[in-house]
Amino acid sequence: MNKNMNKGIQAEQLACDYLLAYGLSLIQRNYRCPYGEIDLIMEDRDSLIFIEVRYRTHNSFGSALESITTIKQHKIITTAQHYLHKMERIDKPCRFDAIGITPKQGGNSRIIWLVNAFQLN
């Protein structure tokens, strides 16, 4: 496993732990289909939540959240539609959240949770 993959796995675990602490429940990690991948699928009382996790060591090329391009959003939405069709999970409203993680000095990380980061147009 290369260093970047390891950082990505760590970032996803950090995001998952963060969201679990806010009362969300984990449904699935790394859902993959021919259209793409969704990092985390979670739910709360009211919604099924598709979550994109982004980690950036610095903001030289934009923040972690800014790295979720329109093309990436479209892939996530299409992948979510595949998941919903395959799992027949249409009993709850859905939303798309994003978690941006950047390291801070001292070994901690800054986590930004953007609820309803994007939506189906």
Q: What pLDDT digit, counting tens, does each position of 38-86 carry?
A: 999 999 988 999 999 998 765 556 667 777 888 999 999 999 999 998 8
Read off φ and ψ for residue 81, nearest 5 degrees.
-65, -40
Q: Indicate the number of domains in the chain.
A: 1
Based on the number of CB atoms within 10 Å of its own CB, is 35 exposed (0-12), middle (13-18) or buried (19 or more)? middle
Task: Tell how far CA 12 is from the center of its chain.
Answer: 8
Task: Tell how far CA 119 is from the center of its chain.
Answer: 13
What are the pLDDT digits (tens) for 14-39? 999 999 999 999 999 999 999 999 99
Neighbours of 59 (CB within 10 A): 11
Domain that holds residue 61: 3-118
Supply the pTM of this predicted model: 0.88
Q: What angle do CA 38, 117, 98 make, to 5 degrees?
A: 45
Give the CATH number of the domain where residue 25 resides.
Answer: 3.40.1350.10
